[in-house]
Amino acid sequence: MLASVEARPSFKRLPRAVREQQMLDAAVRVFSRRGFHEASMDEIAVEAGISKPMVYAYLGSKDDLFRACVNREGTRLLESIVAAVGDDLPADEQLWRGLRGFFGFVGAHREGWAVLYRQAKSRQPFADDLASLRARIVEVVAGMLRKAVTQEGKTDAKDQDLTASAYALVGAAESIADWLADHPEADPDHSAARLMNFTWLGARQLLQGELWQPSSA
Amino acid sequence: MLASVEARPSFKRLPRAVREQQMLDAAVRVFSRRGFHEASMDEIAVEAGISKPMVYAYLGSKDDLFRACVNREGTRLLESIVAAVGDDLPADEQLWRGLRGFFGFVGAHREGWAVLYRQAKSRQPFADDLASLRARIVEVVAGMLRKAVTQEGKTDAKDQDLTASAYALVGAAESIADWLADHPEADPDHSAARLMNFTWLGARQLLQGELWQPSSA
Amino acid sequence: MLASVEARPSFKRLPRAVREQQMLDAAVRVFSRRGFHEASMDEIAVEAGISKPMVYAYLGSKDDLFRACVNREGTRLLESIVAAVGDDLPADEQLWRGLRGFFGFVGAHREGWAVLYRQAKSRQPFADDLASLRARIVEVVAGMLRKAVTQEGKTDAKDQDLTASAYALVGAAESIADWLADHPEADPDHSAARLMNFTWLGARQLLQGELWQPSSA
Amino acid sequence: MLASVEARPSFKRLPRAVREQQMLDAAVRVFSRRGFHEASMDEIAVEAGISKPMVYAYLGSKDDLFRACVNREGTRLLESIVAAVGDDLPADEQLWRGLRGFFGFVGAHREGWAVLYRQAKSRQPFADDLASLRARIVEVVAGMLRKAVTQEGKTDAKDQDLTASAYALVGAAESIADWLADHPEADPDHSAARLMNFTWLGARQLLQGELWQPSSA
DNA sequence: AATGAATGAGGCTTCATTCAT
DNA sequence: AATGAATGAAGCCTCATTCAT
């Protein structure tokens, strides 16, 4: 039966789509393990159980391949978050679920995502792909914050402030995710809870108009 | 007079100490511009206006050179923060000054520090140097938080919680610094103020025992 | 026919085994001509009519390559001697044939072996390979001497003396081979005869118990 | 007193002749330790306790320096042998003393000579210096053999045979010296005695017209 | 007399990428 | 559809040698 054929790691004559996924799986592993530059096309081909020319035939150059990895993983992450957030829940609940979704995904793809993410940030051609992913996530978060503000009755919050807050939150989350990726024993939910607390309370105060003021200059 | 001879921008036969700084300056620029692996020793030598063998003679291998960059910049950053914090001020004032010092430094060394920092995080041999720098910063921050707690009259805050909070704060700051390094038009002080607000209020609530609780499992 | 296509000296897309031998041939020539350190991988690649990366792909580093040369030539030499010696002949006849085999081989591979041999002696990692080859040759020679002693009726020759004599003989042969390799006009058989005479008579006397004694301290 | 000044390792303002000897001492050590190519002028300068430009000023290029080493050591060796041989002694006694002189010198300069000798043999420009040294030694040995023949009453020995025998003897001696240089625990006199026995008896037979003849073609 | 500063040249090695089968 | 064979280009590093003081 086909099912069993797909289940065992058959390396011959697979349809293109399947082969491509195998290659991407292998590429993600190798890029994560070594970093972009240290990863060699040779190693990726071996890891995929396929010859190098096939990799070039299917996925193109090393840059193309890496971008494909970033995009596939990025899409999965975004979907993971969106699915977790849900539609009709209170803002804090949504934020909480979103954070859990995010950290859960990173926790489950430690070796995959976080390292891959780190790579992409520093290499120019990929930074753009990443930036657009990030922008979409920020948008989602900003939406939640706007909803929260509305719930609290505040209506004059400036959009720019909301976006800035969302940006800070996402940045903090990424920073913690980075750390999470390096600490296999850490619990993603715990990270989510900590950030939730740390952020939510602060954000609420902030959105309620309370501000810390420097006493000097 | 000799003085004038020394004064004109002579590029030949400089004493070792001077050349080393020139090289480090050049290396920081190139590493920032290209990233560790994409940076070539050739380009660094050209940027420093000197031949490659001199770089090897004075600073050693590419790894050695990079580590020297990380250490020099890291030391400067730390000193920058410590100097800003001051000794006998209220905790919030100290935190505020520390953040301003931090973001001010990053803002002034945009191309230098943040990118260099990004590089070091991912390359194993340097990650250690970076981790120790970070640990020292976290310690400074935790000290401020402890002081804050004492001022607020709370005495039962667990040290572990303080460290965790400090860690999160530093992570958030780094994340924002990353963003700052990529946005030349952004104002460091503004970043400092935002994080100060965002964090201080939240931290205060947190330290006062208030916790956000998920309404569902 | 395909056969004719394969027969013409095509220099492209040869199977690995063939290319490896071509490379080894070239490497032996270049190492012989220049010595280990003065030989460049570039020159070897050119001599082999192939690009450098292929050399690395098939034979590894310069050290690996050199060791492969030493081993291939060493094996050939040993086989050459063993084949010449034969099994059931009087000891002197065997020694004679062995020497002819040895010098014949060296004479036929002048540029190859002897210089290569000189190189290997001085470079640490290869000296071991060489020492083991030499040990096997010494063993063969010692076996012949033992047989000779038995034929002469002497039964009390100490094994250690036999080995020492074999060592000296091999050393002398190597020394003459060295000279032979530098003198293209010299006749290998003549060298064999000279050493045979020089040694055999001396060895016989020695093994019969006759000793030269210094008349003074 | 000058004596004491010269005795302690003073590194300043020494007369040129002394400096040159210091440099040669250092160079011999380093060349022996590393081999010609692996020896760096830097290491030699450091070993000599002097700056590199001084080495170039006094002894010229690396090749010049190496040749100076070979010549100094070669001259010393030759003088050592000639002095040992003496003038009016029986031929066998002279040979014995010559061998003792040779192996004694090598034994006392293990690290110096033998390795240096090995180096010189393989590097073209120096091989000539070495060949001329060798020719002089061979001549000395041939002289002894001629004397021996005369003493034995044989007058028809061909000069070419004498030279050939002398060559073989010298070659064997060098071979053993090589081995000696690598075995610090070996006794030079023992080597001399072994070669003396092995050779003298054989040579005597040979010179008396006795020849080993192959029984087959 | 002596040296710290400086460099041109060259060697080993690796890799992304393509060709011919 | 698939791959073994092949290479141009580039990078790190070292060293003999010289210059300017």
- Selection from D80, D51, D49, D55 nearest residue D68 by Cα: D55
- Domain-wise residue ranges, chain A: 13-60, 69-207
Per residue in B162-185, pLDDT (tens digit) is 777 787 788 778 878 887 887 888
Closest CA to B77 of B129, B23, B16: B129
Show residues of chain B in contact with A198, CB under 8 Å: 165, 168, 199, 202-203, 206
Interacting residues of D95 by C-beta distance below 8 A, sequence separation 6+: D141, D144, D148, D196, D199, D200
pLDDT at C18: 94
| Common-topology check for domains D11-60 and D69-207 | no
pLDDT at residue B28 greater than cutoff 60: yes
Q: How many CB atoms lie within 10 A of CB D161?
A: 15
Q: Which residue from D96, D175, D211 is facing C174, i.e. has the nearest CB?
A: D175
Q: Which residues on D lie below 8 Å from C174 (Cβ)?
A: 175
The Cα–Cα gap between B176 and D13 comes to: 63
Across the interface, of D165, D205, D216, the residue whose CB is closest to C201 is: D205
**pLDDT in the model for residue C203:** 66
Candidates C165, B46, D110; CA nearest to C173 is: C165
A13-60 maps to CATH 1.10.1060.10: no
In the prediction, which pLDDT does D206 show? 61
For chain A, percent of residues with pLDDT exceeding 90? 26
Residue D12 distance to chain C (closest CA, Å): 36
pLDDT at D86: 85
CB atoms closer than 10 angstroms to residue A76 = 14
Burial of C113 (0-12, 13-18, 19+ CB in 10 A): buried
pLDDT in tens, chain D (217 residues): 444 444 444 445 678 888 899 999 999 999 988 888 989 999 999 999 999 999 999 999 999 999 999 989 989 999 999 899 888 888 888 889 999 999 999 999 887 776 677 788 777 678 888 888 888 888 888 888 888 777 766 666 667 677 777 877 888 888 788 878 878 888 899 888 878 877 776 666 666 666 677 765 5
> Is C201 close to D200, i.e. CB distance below 8 A?
no
Distance CA A159, CA A146 (A): 8
3-state secondary structure chain C: CHHHHHHCCCCCCCCHHHHHHHHHHHHHHHHHHHCCCCCCHHHHHHHHCCCHHHHHHHHCCHHHHHHHHHHHHHHHHHHHHHHHHCCCCCHHHHHHHHHHHHHHHHHHCCCCHHHHHHHHHHCHHHHHHHHHHHHHHHHHHHHHHHHHHHHCCCCCCCHHHHHHHHHHHHHHHHHHHHHHHHCCCCCHHHHHHHHHHHHHHHHHHHHCCCCCCCCCC
Q: What is the average per-residue pLDDT within A152-160?
A: 67
What nucleotide is nearest B51 when CA is compared to C1'? E7
The residue among A118, A115, A166, A159 whose CA lies nearest residue A142 is A166
Kindly determine whether residue C118 and residue D118, on different chains, have CB atoms separated by under 8 Å.
yes
- Nearest protein residue to nucleotide F11 (CA to C1' distance) is B40
Site of tokens 């205060």? B204
Determine the angle formed by the axes of helices C91-108 and C62-85, rounding to 10 degrees: 140
Please determine, looking at this structure, whether the domain spanning B69-207 carries the CATH number 1.10.357.10.
yes
- The residue lying closest to nucleotide F8, measuring its CA against C1', is C51
CA of B45 to C1' of E11 (A): 20
Beta carbons of C179 and D165 less than 8 Å apart: no
Q: Which residues of D touch C (CB under 8 A)?
A: 35-38, 90, 92-93, 96, 115, 118-119, 121-123, 164-165, 167-168, 171-172, 174-176, 178-179, 193-203, 205-206, 210-212, 214-216
A40 touches strand E (CB under 7 A): yes
Q: What is the DSSP letter of B212?
A: -
Residues 11-50 of chain D with CB under 7 A from strand F are 38-42
Convert the pLDDT of each residue in D55-109 to its tens digit: 999 999 999 999 999 989 989 999 999 899 888 888 888 889 999 999 999 999 8
Nucleotide nearest to A19 (CA to C1'): F1
**In chain A, which residues have their Cβ closer than 8 Å to the Cβ of B215?**
90, 93
Residue C41 Cβ < 7 Å to strand E: yes
CATH hierarchy code of domain D11-60 = 1.10.10.60
Q: What confidence score (pLDDT) does residue B115 get?
A: 66
pLDDT in tens, chain C (217 residues): 444 443 434 447 899 999 999 999 999 999 988 889 999 999 999 999 999 999 999 999 999 999 999 999 989 998 999 899 888 888 888 889 999 999 999 999 887 776 677 788 777 778 888 888 888 888 888 888 788 777 766 666 667 677 777 877 887 788 788 878 878 888 899 888 878 877 776 666 666 666 677 765 5
Partner-chain contact A168 B178, CB within 8 Å? no
Q: List Cβ neighbours of B89 (8 Å cut-off, separation of 6 or more).
A: B97
Three-state secondary-structure class, residue B39 = coil
Asked if residues C195 and C171 have their Cβ atoms less than 8 Å apart, the reply is no
Determine whether the distance from the CB of D52 to the nearest atom of strand E is below 7 Å. yes
**Shortest CA to C1' contact from C54: nucleotide:** F6
For strand E, list residues 61-80 of chain B whose Cβ lies within 7 Å of it. none
Cβ of B8 near strand F (under 7 Å)? The reply is no
Nucleotide F1, nearest residue via CA and C1': A13
- Contact between residue D214 and residue C94 where contact means Cβ atoms under 8 Å apart: no
**Residue D197 contacts strand F, CB under 7 A:** no
Closest CA to C106 of C47, C23, C192: C192
Q: Provide CB contacts within 8 A for C36, sequence distance 6+.
A: C66, C119, C123
D116 within 8 A of D28, measured Cβ to Cβ: yes
D141/D137 Cα distance (integer angstroms): 6
Q: Distance from residue A84 (CA) to nucleotide E7 (C1'), in Å? A: 62
Q: Residue closest to F14, CA→C1'?
A: B53
Question: Taking the C1' atom of E18, which residue's CA lies nearest?
Answer: A53
- Tens digits of residue pLDDT in A36-82: 898 999 999 999 999 999 999 999 999 999 999 998 998 999 899 98
Distance, in Å, from the CA atom of D50 to the CA atom of D13, rounded to the nearest integer, reads 11
For residue B32, which of B178, B215, B187 has the smallest C-alpha distance? B178
Give chain E positions with protein CB within 7 A: 1-21
**Cα A141 from chain centre:** 14
- Round to whole Å and give the CA distance between B198 and B104: 18
Q: Would you say residue A173 has pLDDT above 70?
A: yes
Q: State how far the Cα of A32 lies from the Cα of A47, in Å rounded to an integer.
A: 13
CA quadruple C78, C84, C86, C92: dihedral positive or negative? negative
Q: Which residue is nearest to nucleotide F6 (CA to C1')?
A: C54
Question: Quick check: D122 CB within 7 A of strand F?
Answer: no
C185 alpha-carbon distance from chain centroid: 19
Closest chain C residue to D177 measured between Cα atoms? C171
How many whole angstroms from its chain centre is CA A116? 10
What span, in angstroms and rounded, lies between the C-alpha atoms of C54 and C60?
A: 9
Cβ <8 Å between A205 and B202: yes
Distance CA B183, CA B171 (A): 19
The CA distance from B214 to A62, in Å, is 44
- For residue A128, count other CB atoms closer than 10 A to its CB: 11
pLDDT-wise least confident of B8-12, B54-58, D25-29: B8-12
- Tokens found for residue C31: 């190492």
Tell which strand F nucleotides have any atom below 7 Å from a protein Cβ. Answer: 1-21
Residue A216: count of CB within 10 angstroms of its CB: 7
